[in-house]
Amino acid sequence: MNLLELCVKKLGVCFIEKCYEPLHLKHYDIGESWGRIYQRSVELCTCLGGEVICKRARYTVCLRNHCENDGVCRIIEATGEEVCGCKSGYIGKYCNINPQEQCYRDSGAQYRGLANATVSGSPCLPWNSDLLFNELTVDTVDSATLRGLGEHAFCRNPDQDKLPWCYTTSDRAISWEYCNIQPCSKQPFTRRDPVIAATPRPSRTPARTPVCGKRHKKRISRARILGGTSALPGAHPWMAALYIRDEFCAGTLVSSCWIVSAAHCFLSNPLQSQIRVVLGQHGFNDTGPNTRTFDVEKYILYPLYTQFQPTLNDIALVKLKKVNGSCAQKTPFIRPICLPGKDTTFPDHYCCKISGWGHMSEKANSYSQLIEGVVKIIPFDHCSSPEVYGSEVRSGMLCAGSDSCVDACQGDSGGPLACECDGVSFLYGIISWGDGCGRSGKPGVYTLVPKYADWINSVIKRSKKKTTANRTKINICIGNQCQR
């Protein structure tokens, strides 16, 4: 058996793993024991002083065979461990790895090969990595083995994505990326991602899937900006980063060419040429294969907005300049959010998401990775009571906060308060102002988007046909309890 002295670096920490078990494609630590079926005999092996010592072991048959691809299952009496003997062509603890597979079919849900790097060349993290405690892993996904997950770092598609992918680390944060593997039958031509909103849905489709408001989920639901947690790429694909001279604001993509942001971000009256918009961005000021950068054709502040009362009617629209005839093209990392109708209401205490690159504390002055947090809608009467904000809060504003001090902060302005209904996210608020950040009893205040829905639509002047998805009729969406 191979004896390998390996230093496997995980986030800079060196783990020594001493013995390699080729049947499991896995390194075991010194002192560790494991069962296996090798040339039909059931064995118990131990990694001793860097050497693998195996002895035949007594066994019984398994009550339920969890070995895949017709592997046989045995229980080692001494340890109770279930071990698999794989049919030829398969390996792995559960016989669910096929080293011959060089390409994937359809969406690659059945891909069981050994590709373990992403399109950008990053190595994949193992699906049981401790770093992934919040993500889709062997321990958190139902029937993980059947979906090809295991204690390995091979590309898989356990979540009905379009092709195999894996988690990686980039800039010391967890990220994910598609893998560098080819489909088995290369299509004669590959369909390009459609331009957002330029593809009217066929009118006879029974249940229309909206083209807006769908996040790319690579995380099991969890709730836990300020007090938030790092987002995964694709989780807020409508986020726009607005670099305005030396200033920074966020915005939200609502259609191929239009971003909704806060009017106060433009207080310095910048020229269009002094604004740059980046879509698909994850790290602040970080462009890469998933980002697209746009110049600005024009920006429009709400007509009643005045710099003398910068918290009132704090909304602006930014039009992107086309690149080769189009603005934002849809990708897993770039897609618009849905606009609410003018009568859309999410009830008090409803949980919505905020996201942004803004300061992580009131005193901070640097920007961050994209951070997300959950906040609850606060009753207007409470927010406008003298002990909170009194008459500073007006109609056309909305307050939201959390007991655990999740809040937006400087640099998050213009970004979305996204409220989800049946898996579709709506731009319900725009991050606008607050007394400090995350102060107890001082929630964040947001521009109430439904109040400006008619204005937005009149400016964007989208034809009726194209707006069907964005006009998804929801008047009240109930029920969304904040998950802990």
Nearest partner of 136 among 20, 179, 144, judged by Cα: 144
Q: How far is the CB of 435 from ligand ARG (least distance, A)?
A: 7
State the catalytic residue, choosing from 264, 384, 412, 425.
264
Nearest 5°: the CA angle 388, 393, 339 is 120
Count of positions on this chain that bind ligand ARG (CB under 6 A): 13
101 touches ligand ARG (CB under 6 A): no
Q: How far is the CB of 37 from ligand ARG (least distance, A)?
A: 59
Nearer to ligand ARG, 44 or 437 (CB): 437
Neighbour order of strands in the sheet with 13-21? 3-10, 13-21, 26-28
State the catalytic residue, choosing from 129, 170, 175, 314.
314
Helices vs. strands in the chain: H and E counts, helices first: 3, 26
Q: Which stretch binds ligand ARG (CB under 6 A): 3-11, 32-40, 186-194, 405-413?
A: 405-413
Active site residue 314: yes
Nearer to ligand ARG, 213 or 414 (CB): 414
Element (H, E) at 373: strand 371-378
Neighbour order of strands in the sheet with 41-48? 33-38, 41-48, 51-56
Beta bridge partners of 118: 179
Active site residue 268: no
Strand 316-320, strand 292-301: pairing = antiparallel
- CA–CA separation, 352 vs 239, rounded Å? 15
Active site residue 264: yes
434 touches ligand ARG (CB under 6 A): yes
453 touches ligand ARG (CB under 6 A): no
480 touches ligand ARG (CB under 6 A): no
Coarse DSSP helix, strand, coil percentages of the chain, rounded to the nearest 5 percent: 5, 35, 60
Total number of residues shown for the chain: 484
Nearer to ligand ARG, 329 or 402 (CB): 402
Nearest partner of 297 among 320, 329, 265, 263, judged by Cα: 320
Q: How far is the CB of 437 from ligand ARG (least distance, A)?
A: 4
Q: How far is the CB of 265 from ligand ARG (least distance, A)?
A: 7
State the catalytic residue, choosing from 261, 402, 413, 425.
413
Nearer to ligand ARG, 71 or 373 (CB): 373
408 touches ligand ARG (CB under 6 A): yes
Q: How far is the CB of 347 from ligand ARG (least distance, A)?
A: 21
Nearer to ligand ARG, 256 or 355 (CB): 355
- CA–CA separation, 264 vs 414, rounded Å? 8
Nearer to ligand ARG, 34 or 389 (CB): 389
Nearer to ligand ARG, 210 or 401 (CB): 401
- Residue pair 17/27 in contact (Cβ under 8 Å)? The answer is yes
Site string for ligand ARG, 333-362 (x = CB under 6 A): -------------------------x----
In 244-260, which positions are buried (b, 16+ CB within 10 angstroms) versus exposed (e)? beebbbbbbbbbbbbbb
429 touches ligand ARG (CB under 6 A): no
Judged by CB under 6 A, which of 104, 238, 433, 452 binds ligand ARG?
433
Judged by CB under 6 A, which of 71, 407, 452, 466 binds ligand ARG?
407
Q: How far is the CB of 420 from ligand ARG (least distance, A)?
A: 20
Sign of the four-CA dihedral 115, 119, 123, 129: negative
Nearest 5°: the CA angle 433, 437, 442 is 75
Which residues form the catalytic set?
A: 264, 314, 413
Binding residues for ligand ARG, rule: CB under 6 A, are 358, 407-413, 431, 433-434, 437, 444
